[in-house]
Amino acid sequence: MGNRQWVLASHAQGAVNESLWRLVEADVLKPASGQILVKTLWLSVDPYMRGKLNAGAGMQVGGLMQGGGVGEVVESNHPGWKVGDIAESPDVGWQEYAVLTPDLPGASKVNKVDTRTASPQAALSWLGMPGLTAYFAMLDVGRPKPGDTVVVSAAAGAVGQIAGQLARLAGCHVIGIAGSDQKLDWCKTIGFDETINYKTASDLAAEVGRCGPGGVNVFFDGTGGPIHDAVMKNLATGARVAIVGRVAVANNPGGEDIGLRASSRLIATRAVMQGFVVYDWWNRRDEALQRLAAWHASGELQFREDVMIGLENVPRAFMRMMEGENFGKQLVQL
């Protein structure tokens, strides 16, 4: 029995393309004491992976492409795991079989997936890293209050669609920015009050001002670039800005994200801007998952997925996500 894997063929320079990876076949490894062997069911592709493709970022040419996934336990040498259990881990990688060590601490911990309450792939989306990012960055960094105007960029993406709904649940006026009318229709369906197509807006800053004439109290930024600049021009006094991603400029990681210099706006508005990495909040993971599950069960939290089929399509799924072609959380089902 072989184990097909995508390995890094070369480090990235500029935009990604399929030549960065090579599909190989390796042996299926046996789990040592305290380990489990899982057969991969679902893989997640996420914007943070773009940084791993750069030289000096930790991944070596010829090494397995890193990434999170969900799999079924097919062999166990761990007393707490049995064959048939479903496992989620950030360390599955782009491969058909993975050996995992459940007792690793912190963000590398392998988590059991309870399929009685949600589908297995939910552990990679609204009940996983995207959901946790939206929860903590919106509620703890953004701190939305009833009546606030909240702007979410990449609003129909894996994180943005949840963040916008959490702002709606907090009683806010929610503005979503995305790149297609189809995506914006979905945002309206799940409760966004206003939407802006950044690809067709003639003056993006003016559009933000029209949708939020009193200024933006919370900016949930997943893009960087020109969208960031347009919203920063519209900050209200005391605004909170959560920087969760910069997908608009991710293919130029070595360069600066040159645009509006924000310091004057921060002084004038006394706003606070904070960068966000979800793993800093991992000690509160259970709290967030319980609340997200409750909102989903009550129908107050909806979620859209974009699924491609087959290990051979993982690089293409990644590129679709980076190019904004995905509609919802980009997943690959094996």
pLDDT tens per residue, range 113-125: 988 888 999 999 9
* Whole-angstrom distance, CA of residue 314 vs CA of residue 66: 12
Residues of the chain with CATH 3.40.50.720: 129-279
Predicted confidence (pLDDT) per residue in 307-329, tens digit: 999 999 999 999 988 888 888 89
What band does 255 get if pLDDT is binned at 50, 70 and 90? low
Residues of the chain with CATH 3.90.180.10: 2-120+304-333
pLDDT at residue 250 in the model = 59
Spell out the CATH class of 129-279: alpha beta
User: Do residues 74 and 249 lie in contact, with contact meaning Cβ atoms separated by under 8 Å?
Assistant: no
Instruction: Please tell me the pTM assigned to this model.
Output: 0.90
* Whole-angstrom distance, CA of residue 72 vs CA of residue 38: 5
* Whole-angstrom distance, CA of residue 217 vs CA of residue 170: 13
User: Do residues 50 and 35 lie in contact, with contact meaning Cβ atoms separated by under 8 Å?
Assistant: no
CATH architecture of 2-120+304-333: Alpha-Beta Complex (3.90)
